[in-house]
Chain A
Amino acid sequence: MASKIVTLRVNDREEEFLARPGTTLLGALRDTLGLTAAKRGCAQGACGSCNVLVDGKPVPSCLVPVETVDGAAVATLEGVAPTGDLDEVQAAFLEDFATQCGFCTPGMIMTAEALLAENPDPTRAEVVEAISGNVCRCTGYEPIVNAILDAASRRRSA
């Protein structure tokens, strides 16, 4: 099979590149476009560390053949705030100590961004439900849940 030209709008920038057959969205982001925030934890859709938004929906980018999302808008952690700034979710993760090693953090934040875009005032149970596909080995989850609730209230009062 031949490589394909794929066009994506990544963090509001047009990108066009050649993708070999079998290239995942995660592979294209990390290896072709140099956007390494999304992490390859399991490469089989079970950990959420590679989550990015495709047309606003959180997806495990390790499971998405990149040619199947040709033309889509992709949002990664690199794009949530201008360089040097933090958005409300990032600020809440930082100030509420919701990261330890940080490996799960990009996926957690993108999952939280999708939740808050859809539901600006989630309950605790809704936050837990939203991140139920994201694995964290370090924190015990409690600070992550708290940070997402905190981010929601920061954003509502912003």
Chain B
Amino acid sequence: MTRLRGRGYAAVNYPTGMNLGGDPSQALIHATTTGTFVVSLSSVDLGQGLKTVVAQCAAETLGLPFTNILVDTADTDTGPHCMGTFASRGTHRVGNAVIMAATEARAIMLDVAAEELEVDAADLETDGTGYIQVRGAEAKRIHITDLALAAHFTHGRTISGRGVFMKEKSEVVPETGEMDPDSCQAHACTVAEVEVDDETGVVEVLRMYSVYEIGRALHPAMATQQVEGGAWMGMSHALFEATEPYYPVRDHGPADFSEYLMPAAGDIPEQVSVLLERPAPTGPYGAKGIGEMTANAPIPAIANAIFDACGVRLDHMPFTPERVLRALDSLRGQDLSAHG
């Protein structure tokens, strides 16, 4: 028995959003009486962190603390329209819509503050801690809580804004084949190191190194976790997960979690991940989408590492011990006949 080491890599370019017949996301934002800004969306956060990053976008644009933002994604029936959180489009489309809505609300916020402080709105700035103040005369200021109260009860105004980010449909230019189907593309590369047991066929992933160029990482800790959780999922697809292991024969399909294999905490490789930031011109504060791409590169990287380790070229996932052994057998057979 030999445990054979190998290393492989794969790269991926991944589009942010897709070329629908027009791809809009909309956002509404308004201040409550006490200065909490409610961002209303119908974009769904199912764990990817959308609520966090769009709250960051709103806070940054309004010039208010993150804690002043409340993101409400409650109801797709009644909320502003969103095509949905898929195609790695959430951060980009919804983030842009929220920035537009917050920009409009900020202008009104400064306008009401100007009335309240009896100054010119153009002389006002936000200090990032909750105050709107006169530039160069910071003692003249008002807190957002007092301002929101005044807007509602003194001035009878709403501090609110609308955001519509719309990626228009892009048609192919027949002469050149040129088109703009996505808003930007993120790029990544993963290197995998594996060990293949040539007697049992078991592949163990020892390490994965990933580099991601994602525009701007709006939330670096969450982006890194997306990269590493996605790499785990890629490794899981590469080595374990199959709903129909002998497709098109439908036998032996797993029926539940005890048969549907996934790597657990004891099977995880060491991971090293690096984010490169090159802000995208169309992105919210330069961000691109990386939701889906993170499971992609690990799979061919692992396939290439298996090839490097033991010379077998597997093109059907998952790379189970059975498939590795069958491939090793036929490789040996070929070698024998080549020398025979």
A interface residues, Cβ below 8 angstroms from B: 41-42, 44, 46-47, 97, 100-103, 127-129, 131-132, 134-135, 137-145
Decide: A141 near B232, CB < 8 A? Known: A44-B257, A131-B265: yes
B264 pairs with A141, CB closer than 8 A: yes
B266 pairs with A128, CB closer than 8 A: yes
**Range of interface residues on B (Cβ < 8 Å):** 20 to 34
A46 pairs with B265, CB closer than 8 A: no
B interface residues, Cβ below 8 angstroms from A: 46-49, 221-222, 225, 228-233, 256-258, 262, 264-266, 268, 271
Decide: A138 near B47, CB < 8 A? Known: A46-B256, A46-B257, A47-B257: yes
A140 pairs with B257, CB closer than 8 A: no
A140 pairs with B222, CB closer than 8 A: no
Closest partner residue, chain A, to B271 (CB atom): A142
B225 pairs with A46, CB closer than 8 A: no
Q: Which residues of A contact B230 (CB under 8 A)?
A: 140
Chain A nearest CB from B263 CB (Å) reads: 8
CA distance A51 to B233 in the complex (A): 23
B264 pairs with A132, CB closer than 8 A: yes
Q: Which residues of A contact B222 (CB under 8 A)?
A: 97
B268 pairs with A142, CB closer than 8 A: yes
Closest partner residue, chain A, to B222 (CB atom): A97
Chain A nearest CB from B11 CB (Å) reads: 20
20 A-B pairs with C-beta separation under 8 A: A42-B257, A44-B256, A44-B257, A46-B258, A97-B221, A97-B222, A100-B49, A100-B225, A102-B47, A127-B265, A128-B265, A129-B266, A135-B257, A138-B229, A139-B228, A140-B229, A140-B232, A140-B233, A141-B232, A142-B268
B265 pairs with A141, CB closer than 8 A: yes
Closest partner residue, chain B, to A139 (CB atom): B229
Chain A nearest CB from B120 CB (Å) reads: 43
Chain B nearest CB from A39 CB (Å) reads: 13
B47 pairs with A143, CB closer than 8 A: no
CA distance A129 to B264 in the complex (A): 10
Chain A nearest CB from B258 CB (Å) reads: 5
Closest partner residue, chain A, to B234 (CB atom): A140
A135 pairs with B264, CB closer than 8 A: yes
A142 pairs with B49, CB closer than 8 A: no
Q: Which residues of B contact A47 (CB under 8 A)?
A: 257
Q: Which residues of B contact A134 (CB under 8 A)?
A: 265
